Amino acid sequence: MTKRSIEERVEDYDRMIERLREKKREMLARHSQEERKAGNHARMVLGGMVLDAFPEGWRSVDFDSLERTLAGNVVILRRSEIKPLSLGEAKARLREWEYERRRRNEASAHEDVCHDDTSTEGVS
């Protein structure tokens, strides 16, 4: 077995360092992409909540007025703020909230249908 020179060993370490740097870059890029996707999802959900206040849909929104309303009520809006969560916890919380909201909406729609059915009974 031949002994490797110090130069060869240093080259090996340099290659290992470069591989680790590349892994670090890839990991940070994946995390950044996941953060962006989760943020975009949250924006879509929040936007949907705002749009739900407009029965005629987004084409009926006075965006200037809405912006002023939001800016003038920051203190009220911040009452809904919590301690920041980790990315995984925040994503899980949002998914759970969406699931529960769908369940509530489906139950409400079912109650409306049942109520409509009973309100027309006996009417000929």
Give the pTM: 0.72
- Copy the structure tokens of residue 22: 């590349």
| Per-residue confidence band for 75, with pLDDT thresholds at 50, 70 and 90 | very high
5's enclosing H/E stretch is none
How far is the C-alpha of 100 from the C-alpha of 45, rounded, in Å?
Answer: 13
| DSSP one-letter string for 55-124 | TT-GGG--HHHHHHHHHHTHHHHGGG--PPPPHHHHHHHHHHHHHHHHHHHHHHHHHHHHHHHHHTTT--
pLDDT band at 113 (very low <50, low <70, confident <90, very high): confident
pLDDT in the model for residue 1: 59
Q: What is the pLDDT of residue 109?
A: 85
pLDDT in tens, 18-62: 999 999 999 999 999 999 999 999 999 999 999 999 999 999 999
Amino acid at 122: G
What are the residue ranges spanned by the domains of the chain? 1-81, 83-124
- In angstroms, the CA 41 to CA 98 distance is 11
